[in-house]
Chains A and B, each alone.
Chain A
Amino acid sequence: MTRKQRRLALIGAAGLVLAVAVGLILTALNDRIVFFRSPAEVAQLNVQPGTRFRLGGLVENASVERPGAQQVVFRVTDGTRSMTVRYSGLLPDLFREGQGVVCEGTLQADGSFNADTVLAKHDEKYMPREVSDALKKQGHWQGDAAPGGEGKPK
């Protein structure tokens, strides 16, 4: 092979790998990502039952029920609207009434949400940013101090 042919082979191989990578990434971006919605957005955007998305908001006070072993039903609110969420499994350590939560799952025909994952992150003063943004959008957010306060000595 001449120098030119070798270079062509190299560029060809690089192009092929690049094309495969781009193809894989574009396909995955089409059907492997989920949107984040607050209860108000779900109503406003008229999300269809069966759609998979992340639902975020605050766990409504006094809404958590346990109808069976590892069965949990609670309501997630963004201050404007709230939705019933069903989940079976262990809740994360930081799941509390009145605190931020993000659930991933699908919307049911009756307007409730079946979650297969419930996330509440690692820190007591941590508010999922999606949740704080959603609350701000609904006008129910007081300042930037997350629950628990930050930085100021008491």
Chain B
Amino acid sequence: MIVELGHFALALALAVSLVAMVLPLWGALRNDGRLMAFGPPSAVLQFLLVALAFGALTYAYVGSDFSVTNVFENSHTDQPMIYRFSGVWGNHEGSILLWVLILVLFGACVAAFGRSMPSPLRAATIAVQSSIVAAFLAFILFTSNPFLRVLPAPTEGRSLNPVLQDPGLALHPPLLYIGYVGFSVVFSFAAAALILGRIDAAWARIVRPWILAAWTTLTGGIALGSYWAYYELGWGGYWFWDPVENASLMPWLAGTALLHSVIVMERREALKVWTILLAVLAFSLSLLGTFLVRSGVLTSVHAFASDPARGVFILLILCAFIGGALLLFAMRGPQLAGGALFSPVSREGSLVLNNLFLSAACAAVFIGTLYPLALEAVTGDKISVGPPFFNATFVPLSLPILLAMPFGQQLAWKRGELLPIAMRLFVAILAGAAVMLAVLALSSGREAIAALGLGLGAFVVVGSLDDLRIRAMRSGAGSFFSRLFGLPRTIVAAALAHMGVGLMVIGIAATAFHEEQIANLEPGQTLNVGGIEISFEGMRRTTGPNFIATVGQFTARKDGVELMRMEPGKRTYVGRSMPTSETSRLQRGLGEVYLAVGDAHEGKLDVRAYWKPYVLLIWLGPLVMTLAGLLSLTDRRMRIAAPRRRVAPGAKPEPAE
């Protein structure tokens, strides 16, 4: 009964969204307050209805109602409660429902927090957002209904895919989706501005917190997924350039570019065309990612059951929204010209540079991801575009960004000079050069690329933090520390986010110094990795709530002192015949000893051991970036309710943000 209620609520939400995509927009165009007033409550109603549907599906999962096909296929009574819960989005239908839930949540947020924005913009934004909601609700109801029943009801389910039974994976999809879908609001704002023809600094000011919120969660979501792949898949890799990973990286790159260009638009009313285009692009890439993952064009852990009809439907949604937005863009294009002047060497100039390289890197990922699909469609040849391609394109295109980053933070608006900044940054330049030369010397010149990466990383970390010192020294009165803590939070957040990038680059560059040992061990034998002795003591079998496991027992010692008992293993889950790896890791500073086991043959166990110095920085960096994003969101100037302030072009060239 509750399941049918959920189904009904979903159909009702579709009806509401169809009305909400027309009336408020009509009102915004005719400046009719009564029609516009329909927007906010209808957005809240859509949210309540979809939340009800999502709650109904969750109820079916938690109560193990196997008469629902979706629950039967993805749940099991032996599953711990957390995975019965996360199973709701551990499948195609449920994950799309989560996607829509976040869509309507953002719509409701515009309704709830948008009181200070001009009501035509708010109404038109809700209308555009509702049209996206309508498209995806139709997609669910016609191709991916999670509420279908199966009769007679089976007594036991087929369980959630075991690799998804992990706390990291319970959280990864919701975070990633908030980021992905967060760009839908940005898209809706852009489309609304294009429809209304009002595209100015005030618009940029209103949209900026939304971009920041989407970017922050997307950063956290991608990092969490990467960390999960690292410890769960047993290969010790953190990024595979898998098309599905690329699908999340592309909106992130476009979103990062957008996050920077919107500052120029807010402060200087320049780069308007470009910012609007990026806003459209970021969400288009999110949609493209959904299409790639959900259509069955690609096969991977993310592509649940694939179905061509779904692919065609999403492709239609994709074409309609991208095409519509670009059409609006072409119509309004002539009105978007103008903006303040700036010299190539200036804050604006550095942000343009950042945007150029980020877009080029995004284009490289785009081509690397879609070229194999296009080639197969045209010639039938199947190719694989893997890490070698991306290392040769993405990496060189992102290095200049790192080099320019600390300079950009220091440059003044309108016109700046490089030499004084280079002198101010001498600590960072010195640190970067010292690290680079030290690594070159220690590796006898063999690890030139790693040395470059580590040097750049050190330069970015020191340069970002130094920015705060330089600002605190120059501004205001009082002691150094009171001035440091008096800096605006957006400034501190920008420095921290840049530092996070530097930390991540150090972690990635340090992978050149990873040690790997593969051995076939008998009990009593040992192996050495990273100066740590790992002895194999034997194997045992254990059982968990819904799996049986074979566990290898190891002891890690350094200079004879026991550090940790390590127990990597393999699990076989009830209801599914596939084994999964459970790795065991020992942290040493920011590095890790990583142990995974393979199959056992005649009492001998295949063991893979790694020493990975500084590997944790790969995820600590993005964590710092995520926290910096949150910090920035708490800044008064980011608060949506804060009074709108028009910045007159060229008012004062303050070196802020």
Contacts and interface: CB of A to CB of B under 8 A. Distances in A.
A121 B299 CA distance: 9
A66 B368 CA distance: 37
Interface string B232-257: 01100000000000000000000000
Contacts of B526: none
Interface stretch (B38-46, B122-130, B214-222, B576-584): B576-584
Given A28-B389, A33-B383, A150-B305, A70 B606 contact: yes
Given A93-B581, A123-B161, A69 B384 contact: no
Given A89-B518, A94-B579, A153-B72, A33 B384 contact: yes
B364 interface: yes
Contact of B579 (A14, A21, A32, A93): A93
A126 B344 CA distance: 52
A42 interface: no
Contact of A93 (B381, B396, B570): B570
B645 interface: no
Interface in A121-141: 121-124, 126, 128-130, 133
Contacts of B519: 69-70
Contacts of A153: 69, 72, 150, 154
Interface in A84-105: 89-91, 93-94, 104
B578 A21 contact: no
A129 B356 CA distance: 36
B320 interface: no
A17 B73 CA distance: 49
A27 B368 CA distance: 12
Contacts of A32: 385, 388-389, 392
B350 to A, nearest CB: 11
Nearest to B573: A124
B360 interface: yes
B364 A21 contact: yes
Interface in B368-392: 368, 371-372, 381-386, 388-389, 392
Interface string B293-309: 00000011100010000
A47 interface: no
Given A32-B389, A34-B384, A34-B386, A17 B356 contact: yes
Interface in A61-77: 66, 69-70
A90 B598 contact: yes
A14 B360 CA distance: 10
A30 to B, nearest CB: 10
A35 B364 contact: no
Contacts of A6: 341-344
B393 interface: yes
Contacts of B381: 35
Nearest to B153: A153
Contact of A124 (B150, B360, B577): B577
A65 to B, nearest CB: 12
Most chain B CB inside 10 Å of its own CB: which residue of A21, A69, A91, A150: A21
B326 interface: no
Contact of B578 (A17, A36, A93): A93
A10 B344 contact: yes
A24 B343 contact: no
B300 A122 contact: yes
A109 interface: no
Contact of A151 (B305, B579, B601): B305
Interface in B505-556: 518-520
Most chain B CB inside 10 Å of its own CB: which residue of A29, A54, A94: A29
Contacts of A129: 299
Given A33-B385, A35-B382, A36-B383, A21 B363 contact: yes
A43 interface: no
A136 B582 CA distance: 35
A123 B73 CA distance: 14
A91 to B, nearest CB: 7
B397 interface: yes
Contacts of A34: 383-384, 386
Contact of B367 (A18, A20, A25): A25
A3 B341 contact: yes
A28 B396 CA distance: 12
Nearest to B366: A25
B352 interface: yes
Interface string B488-512: 0000000000000000000000000
Nearest to B581: A93
A136 to B, nearest CB: 13
A104 B384 contact: yes
B166 interface: no
Most chain A CB inside 10 Å of its own CB: which residue of B364, B382, B580: B382
Nearest to B356: A17
A27 B261 CA distance: 30
A1 B385 contact: no
B417 interface: no
B597 to A, nearest CB: 8
A28 B392 contact: yes
A126 B386 contact: no
A121 B578 CA distance: 11
A13 B352 contact: yes
Contacts of B392: 24, 27-28, 32
B357 interface: yes
A39 to B, nearest CB: 14
B276 to A, nearest CB: 17
B608 interface: yes
A54 B383 CA distance: 8
Interface of A: 1, 3, 6, 9-10, 13-14, 17-18, 20-21, 24-25, 27-29, 32-36, 54, 66, 69-70, 89-91, 93-94, 104, 121-124, 126, 128-130, 133, 148, 150-151, 153
13 contacts: A20-B397, A21-B360, A21-B364, A25-B364, A70-B520, A89-B518, A93-B234, A93-B570, A93-B581, A94-B579, A122-B163, A123-B161, A124-B577
Interface of B: 69, 72-73, 150, 154, 161, 163, 233-234, 299-301, 305, 341-344, 352-353, 356-357, 360, 363-364, 367-368, 371-372, 381-386, 388-389, 392-393, 396-397, 518-520, 570, 576-581, 596, 598-599, 601, 604, 606, 608
Given A21-B360, A36-B382, A122-B233, 20 more contacts: A6-B343, A13-B352, A24-B396, A25-B393, A27-B392, A28-B393, A29-B385, A32-B385, A33-B383, A34-B386, A36-B383, A69-B604, A90-B608, A93-B234, A104-B384, A123-B161, A150-B305, A151-B69, A153-B150, A153-B154
* Top 5 A-B residue pairs of the complex, sorted by shortest distance between their CB atoms: A36-B382, A124-B578, A21-B360, A122-B301, A69-B520
